[in-house]
Chain A
Amino acid sequence: MNLFVILKRTFDTEEKISIANGAIAHDSAEYIINPYDEYAIEEAITLRDTHGGEVTVVTVGTEESEKELRTALAMGADKAVLIDAEELDHSDQFTTAAILATYFKEQEFDLILGGNVAIDNGTGQVGPRLAELLDIPQVTTITKLEINGTDVKIERDVEGDVEKIETSLPLLVTAQQGLNEPRYPSLPGIMKAKKKPLETLELDDLDIDEDDVEAKTKTIEVYLPAKKEAGKILSGELNDQVKELVSLLRSEAKVI
C-alpha cells in the first residue's frame, strides 16, 4: 500500500510564544510536528506494518522542516519529501493545497493521511482542499480506520458523537485525537533516520509558477490573546450573588 502523510512543522503552543514585527518570533518559539499530524504518522506506520507497503511523509515548508521530517522517519516512516517553498513571500491554505496537489498528481497513492487541524493557524483546510483538487473522497476527524482490500470502514468524531462511514481507496483522511497513541521515536529509529531518503523539491522541480499558487488571503494583524485577569469570587447570600453576577455580566463584562 502506498501511504502518504502530509505534515506541518508548527510552533509548540505549550511553550512561550512572542510576537515581533507582526509575526511569531521564530528564535523564541519551539518547533514540533503538528500534534494531529503525529496521529496520522502513527496510523500510517501501523497500516504499513499490517498491510505492507511504504510510508512517505511530505511537507511544504523550508529547510528547517527537515527536522520534523527526520523525526517522522525516526518514528518509522520510510521516505520523506520536503517541498521547499521558502521563495514564496505569502502563503495560505490555498497555496499549500495547490502545491501538494501538483506533487500528488505525479504520485501513485492509496491513502493520504493528515492531521485534522494544525495547532498554529487552525483552519483544517489543507486536507479537504487537497482531496478536492485530486478528486478523491475525504473523511475528516477520523477516530478509527479499517482497511480491507480497497474497502474502508471509518469512524469519525462529529462534535462528540460517532459517525460510521464506508468508503474506498484512494482516499484522504484527517486524524482526530483518539485515533491512536503516537509512539516515541526509538533509539534505533533515531540512529537510522539519517540514512533514510529525504528528497528536497523546489517549486521549479514541480513546474509551479509562483503566481499560480499565490495566497488568496492576506494577514492583517497577528496578536496574542489578551492576558487573563484575575477572576472575581462572589460572596454572600445566593440570591444576592446571582443578582450581582447578572449586573456584572451586563455592566462590566458587557456580554448580556
Chain B
Amino acid sequence: MNYALTDEQAMIQKMMKEFADEEVAPGAEQRDKDKAFPLEIFKKLGKLGIMGLPFPEQYGGGGADTISFAIAVEELSRACGSTGITYSAHVSLGGAPLYLFGTEEQKEKYLVPICTGESFGAFGLTEPNAGSDAGGTQTTAKLEGDQWVINGSKCYITNASYAKHLALTAITGNEHGKKEISAIIVPTDAKGFTVIDNYEKLGLHSSNTTELVIDGVTVPKENLLGKQGEGFKQFLITLDGGRIGIGAMAVGIAQAAYDRALAYANERKQFGSTLSKFQAIQFKLADMAMKIELARNMVYKAAWLKDQGKKFSKEAAMAKLYASESCMQICSEAVQIHGGYGYMRDYQVERFFRDAKLTEIGEGTSEVQRMVIAREIGC
C-alpha cells in the first residue's frame, strides 16, 4: 500500500495546477458567457506535450499513466469544466479507441495527430435512440466493394467540430436478428459528413457539443477500427476509461466549488461572526471536504487498477458515480453557502453548479453506472 504520488505524477500535478490557475481560470467565466471554445489553451497544452499524455512516445504521446491523466483532467476542470471535458473526451474517447483497437497504420495516421494536438479527438457513439443501449443504434455501414457506405446520425458528440477524423459506431450486419455493430474511422471533411454545432446547453458552454449527419459517406474498407462486429464490446471498454476522466472532472469541479465556499464562509459576516463559525455551515464544509477526498481516492484507485493492467470496470463506474453525485451535492451546497450571491454569475459557483450536472449524465448516467456495478457484483 502506498498513497504517495510518484515524482512524475507530483510534478505533473504541480505543473497542471499552475497552468490551470494562470492560463485556464482567468478567462473561464467570459468563455462561458461567450460560448467560446478554448482553442488557445489547447494550443499551449499541445506545446507542453499534454494532448497525448497517456499514449506511448512512439505515437507522439507523453508516456505517462492513467493517474497522471486523472490529475490533468481534475486540474483543468477545477479552473474550467468545459476545458476539462474537452480534454477528457479528446484523450479517453478520441485517442484511446485508436490506441486500443487500431492497426499500426491507423495509429500512425490517426492517433499521432491527436497526440500532437493537430486534431482533437472525438467518438461518435450516441444517437437519438441509442446511447448506453447500443441496441437502438440506427446508423448503418454497408460494404460495397472496397468501401463502407455510411448513413445515419449521431447526437451529443463532444469535440467533433475540431476533430479531423473520428471513430463512429454503425450497424454492419444482422445475425440471427441481432444487430452487428462495428466502429469505423471517418474523416470529418468527407463528402456527405456534416457537423452541426447549435445545441443550447445548461452548462459547459465553452465545450463543443455537436450533431453529426452522415449521408452516404464512403470510406475505405480498411477504416474499420478493431474487429467487425465488436464495436459494442470495444465501446464498453472505451467508456470504462472515459469514466475515470469524468470522475476526475467531477472531483475538479467539486474542489473549485468547495474552495470558493470555504473562502466565502471565512469572509462573510452575519449575526456578528463569519459563516464558518456557525456549526450548520461547518458541517456542510466538512461533508464537502470528505466527499472530495473520497471521490479523488476512488478515481485514483480506478486509474491505478487500469495502470496495473487489472480489471477496473466496477471501480471506474463507482468512481464516476460517487464523484459526480458528490460534485452535484457539493456545488449545490456551495451555492447555498453563498446565498443570494451564489445565484449570481459573479461568484462562479453558479457556473460550477451548471457544469456539474453533466458529470451525472455523460459517458453513462448515474443509473447506468449502478447497472454496471450491479452486473459486476453478480446481480
A interface with B by C-beta (< 8 Å): 67, 70-71, 74, 184-191, 193-194
Contact = CB atoms under 8 A, between A and B. Distances in A.
Given A67-B7, A70-B7, A190-B8, A185 B15 contact: yes
Q: Could you say which of A185, A189, A190, A194 has the most chain B C-beta atoms within 10 Å of its C-beta?
A: A190
Contacts of B11: 70-71, 74, 185, 190, 193
A188 B15 CA distance: 12
Given A71-B14, A191-B63, A191-B64, A184 B7 contact: no
- The 6 closest A-B CB pairs, nearest first, are A187-B49, A187-B62, A186-B48, A190-B11, A188-B49, A186-B49
B47 interface: yes
Nearest to B16: A184
Interface in B195-240: none
Contact of B53 (A184, A187, A193): A187
A198 to B, nearest CB: 11
Given A187-B49, A188-B49, 19 more contacts: A67-B7, A67-B10, A70-B11, A71-B11, A74-B15, A184-B15, A184-B19, A185-B15, A186-B47, A186-B49, A187-B64, A189-B49, A190-B11, A190-B12, A190-B15, A191-B8, A193-B8, A193-B11, A194-B7
Nearest to B18: A184
Interface string B22-54: 000000000000000000000000011110010
B7 A191 contact: no
A189 B8 CA distance: 10
The binding surface of chain A is classed by DSSP as: helix
A187 B7 contact: no
Nearest to A190: B11
A193 B10 CA distance: 13
Interface of B: 7-8, 10-12, 14-15, 18-19, 47-50, 53, 57, 62-64
A191 B50 CA distance: 12
Nearest to B45: A187
Contacts of A70: 7, 11
Contacts of A188: 49, 57, 62
A191 B53 CA distance: 11
B333 to A, nearest CB: 23
Contacts of B49: 186-189
Contacts of A185: 11, 15
A185 B63 CA distance: 15
Contacts, number: 42
A74 B15 CA distance: 10
Contacts of A189: 49
A184 B23 CA distance: 11
Nearest to B22: A184
A189 B12 CA distance: 10
Given A70-B7, A194-B7, A194-B8, A187 B14 contact: no
A184 B64 contact: no
A235 B265 CA distance: 29
B60 to A, nearest CB: 10
A194 B63 CA distance: 14
Contacts of A191: 8, 62-64
Contact of A187 (B10, B12, B18): B12
Contacts of B57: 188
B22 to A, nearest CB: 9
A67 B6 CA distance: 11
A184 B57 CA distance: 20
Nearest to A74: B11
Contacts of B63: 191
12 contacts: A67-B7, A71-B14, A185-B11, A185-B15, A186-B48, A188-B49, A190-B8, A190-B11, A190-B15, A190-B64, A193-B8, A193-B11
A140 B19 CA distance: 29
A184 B7 CA distance: 16
Contacts of B64: 187, 190-191
Contacts of A193: 7-8, 11
Most buried by B among A71, A184, A185, A186: A184
A193 B48 CA distance: 14
A45 B14 CA distance: 20
B79 to A, nearest CB: 14
B262 to A, nearest CB: 12
Of the candidates B7, B10, B19, the one having the most CB atoms from chain A within 10 angstroms of its own CB is B7
A71 B11 CA distance: 7
Contacts of B14: 71
B95 to A, nearest CB: 14
A70 B6 CA distance: 13
A121 B10 CA distance: 26
A193 B15 CA distance: 14
A134 B64 CA distance: 43
Contacts of B50: 187
Contacts of B15: 74, 184-185, 190
Nearest to A191: B63
A89 to B, nearest CB: 29
B154 to A, nearest CB: 31
A189 B64 CA distance: 12
A70 B10 CA distance: 11
A189 B57 CA distance: 12
